[in-house]
């Protein structure tokens, strides 16, 4: 809008379409041909992210376990240390309160202690 000029409707900014009205059957044929030539876009995979695994997990005898879920402020993010009973490539079997539990290594962190007390 400019002061002193007449108001222009938005449709007046564009030139009228140069295409003439076509019959519906011809339009349908062109539409089908257009969709036939469309190529799909390749799918993308976002789940290839890997979790950090500390190299000391292979040799440690005590570990900390990350607490999952919503935590109140000023609470510890890890519990432990706990004693490691057995290890596999993806899971550790640990001793928690006199019972065994199998936990994924994604939730584990090695415990570096001065005396090996778990």
**pTM for the whole structure:** 0.56
Cα-Cα-Cα-Cα torsion 107, 113, 117, 118, nearest 10 degrees, comes to -10
Whether the Cβ atoms of residue 109 and residue 66 lie closer than 8 Å to each other = yes
For residue 95, what pLDDT is reported?
92
pLDDT at 44: 77
**What pLDDT shows up at residue 87?**
93
pLDDT given for residue 48 in this prediction: 64
pLDDT tens-place string over residues 56-101: 999 888 999 999 988 899 999 999 899 999 999 899 999 998 899 9
Predicted confidence (pLDDT) per residue in 17-47, tens digit: 666 667 889 889 999 999 999 988 888 777 6
């Amino acid at each position: 809008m400019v002061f002193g000029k007449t108001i222009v409707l938005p449709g007046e900014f564009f030139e009228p379409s140069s295409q003439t009205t076509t019959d519906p059957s011809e339009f349908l044929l062109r539409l089908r041909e257009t969709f036939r030539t469309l190529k799909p876009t390749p799918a993308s995979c976002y789940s290839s992210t890997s979790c950090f695994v500390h190299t000391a997990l292979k040799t440690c005898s005590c570990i900390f376990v990350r607490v999952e879920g919503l935590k109140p402020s000023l609470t510890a993010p890890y519990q432990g240390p706990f004693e490691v009973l057995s290890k596999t490539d993806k899971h550790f079997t640990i001793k928690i309160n006199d019972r065994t539990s199998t936990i994924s290594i994604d939730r584990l962190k090695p415990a570096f202690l001065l005396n090996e007390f778990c």
